[in-house]
Structure 1
Amino acid sequence: MPFKYAATAALVAVTAMPLAASADEVNIYSYRQANLLEPLLDAFTEETGIETNVVFAKKGLAERLEREGRNSPADVVMTVDISRLNELVERGLTQAVDNEVMEANIPENLRHPDGKWFALTTRGRMIYASVDRVEEGEITTYEELADPKWEGRICTRSGKHPYNIALFSSMIAHHGEEEAEAWLTGLKNNLARKPQGGDRDQIKAIAEGVCDLSIGNSYYYGKMLNDDNQRAAAEAVRIVFPNSDGRGTHINISGIALTNSAPNQENAIRLMEFLSQEKAQQIYAEANTEYPANPSVEPSGMVAGWGELHPDSLSLQEIAERRNAAVRMVDRVDYDN
C-alpha cells in the first residue's frame, strides 16, 4: 500500500521517516490522525499514481516547519481547525495558491483571501440537549446559553480550547467585545462544573445527569453513534443547530495549506485539487461524519439525518483574526476556574 505515515506526540519528540522530494510523491504534515486520512489518500494514489507520506502530530508541526525552514520536506499541512491554519499563516509558513479548481470548489468564506489555506470539511459547533430534561425548541441560539434559567445546567470543555476560542471569536465578530464578554460571563455562571474533558465527555455528562446542555462539534456526535460503547450516551442527547433561523450555526473546518518549502509543489497542488473534488469530499466527510466543504456535495446519510445545517456565512479568516481577543476575554472572565 502506498500510504505511509509516522506519528509523533510532541514537538520535543518528533521522530519520522526521512521525507524527500520525489517525482511521484507528496509529503504531508498532519494534525489529523493518519488512519483517518488513509482511504482518502489511497484514492488519490489510485487515481494519480502519486504516493503519499504522512507525519502525524497532535502539536508542534508549526514549530517543526520553522526549524526546518526551506529544507523542510513537507509539501502541505492538514489541520483540524481554523486556529492552526491561521497560526501557519501568521508564522509565514504557507504560500498562496492561485488555482481555479480550488476557487471553484471551496466557497470564499471557507478559504484564505490570498489562497494560503482552504477548508476541506466543516463541522457545526452544536448545542447538545438532554432528551429527558430539555424540551425540543427550548433552546435555539448560542445567546440563550447565558440565560439564568440554565444556571448549573451546562457543561463545556476548557474555554481555551481552539474549538471554543473559535466560537467565542465569532461571538465577538457578531456582537462586539463588550457584549460577547457579558455573554461569556453568563455562560460561565451557568456551568454545572469546572470546564474539563473533551466534547464527548460533555455528552457523557448529560447522559449521567451532571448537566442538561453542552457545546460540541457535530462529528463527535456521529463518532459516538458509531461506537457500540458510546452510543447509549449519544442517544441521551438531542442535537441542536444553533441560530438556524438567524445568522446561522458557527462552523469550524479541517483544512489544508501549501508550505513555503513544498519540494513536490506540483504534486501537492494536485492533491489539494483532488481533495476539493466530489469523490474525495464524499470519502473524507463520510469517514469523519463531517460536512463537505464543497457545496455541490451532499453530506452522508447519517449526517443528513440530523437535519439541515445553515452555516454562519461569516468569513473564517475574520473569526481567526479575533482569536487573541477571545483568549484575553476567556482570561478576564476566568472561565476555566
Structure 2
Amino acid sequence: MTTPPRISCVILCHDYGRYLARAITSCLDQKPGDYLLQEIIVIDDGSTDETAEVCRRYRDFIRVVRRDSRGFGPTLTDAFLLAEGDWVAPLDADDWFHPAKLRACAEAITGERLFIEHWEYVVDAAGRPLVTDPHPGGNTSTLLVHREAALTLLPVVNEIFFHALRHAGHGCVLPVPLVHYRVHAHNMTDRHTPGVSQRYRADVCTALAIRLRTMAAEPPAWTTASVLRRMAHHFHAQAAGHRVEAYVQTGQRHACWRPLAAMLAGTIRSCAPPRPWLRAIASAVTGHPQAPLRELDNSGAGDTESDHSNTRT
C-alpha cells in the first residue's frame, strides 16, 4: 500500500484579516479522503490590521509565521520552504477552499504528476457570485504543487513559475471549481488602467523564461535541458504577446511589431501552435484588445496578476 500524500495548506496574508478566518476555516473543514492534512500555516507578511488577532483565535490549529512585509514573490517562495508536507496547497487569504478541494486533488495524484490545477468560483468582496459559471483557474489558490519539484524553481516571482511543471508534462487541470476566488476593490492589480496588468504579466513570463534557460545547464530530475530550453522560448513568446496586448490597450499599435516578431520567433522555437500569435497580430492590426480590460482570464497560459500577497488573475 502506498502512503497517502501529506498536504500542507499555506495561507498567504497581508492585511486581509477581515477574510482570514474564512480561509482558515475552509482548510479545517476539508472532507476526509486519501490524503493527510499535514499542517495549516499562515504567513503574515507584515500585516497591520486584525490579522494577528484572527491568528490568535486559531492558534491551536495553525502555525503562524510573522515577519516584516516582503511582498508576494518572497511570501510564495517561503510557503514552499516552510511547508513540511509532500504537497503544498497555497491559499490567498481572501479566498477560501471548497470542502472537497484536498480530496479531489489527492485523487488526481499519480506517479509522475507534480502539479494539479483546478477551476474556481469567482465571487465579490462579500462572497457573492460575480461570474455565473465556474471559471478556469491557474492562480495561487487553484494549485496543488509537489514540494520537492517546486523547490527546484525557487525563488519565484509569481505562481506561474510552478506552471513550468505542467508544461514539462507533469501536470493536469481538473475542470471542477474547488476554490472561491474573491475579486474586490483592494486587489493590488490595477484592472482599470490600460496596459498595467499586461506589462506585469510580461515581466513575470520573462523572469520565468530566464530562469528556465539558466536551469538548462543543470536540469532537475523532472525534466531535461532540451525541454527547459523549449519552455524558455514558450514563455518568451508569452511575454511578447502580453506586451503586444499592452500596446494595443494603450493605443500604441505602432510599437507592436517588434514584440510580434519576438513572439513569432519564440512560438517557432518552442514548437507551439501559432494560434496565440495569430490572435495577437489580429489585435495589433485592428486595434481591438483580445479581451475587455476588466475581464477575468485564467493564468494557465501565462496570464498572471499579482496582489501584494494575493494573486488576482
Place the TM-score, normalised by the shorter chain, in its bin: under 0.3
Tell me which structure has the larger Cα radius of gyration.
1
TM-score by length of structure 1 reads 0.23
Higher relative contact order (CA closer than 8 Å, sequence separation 6+): 1
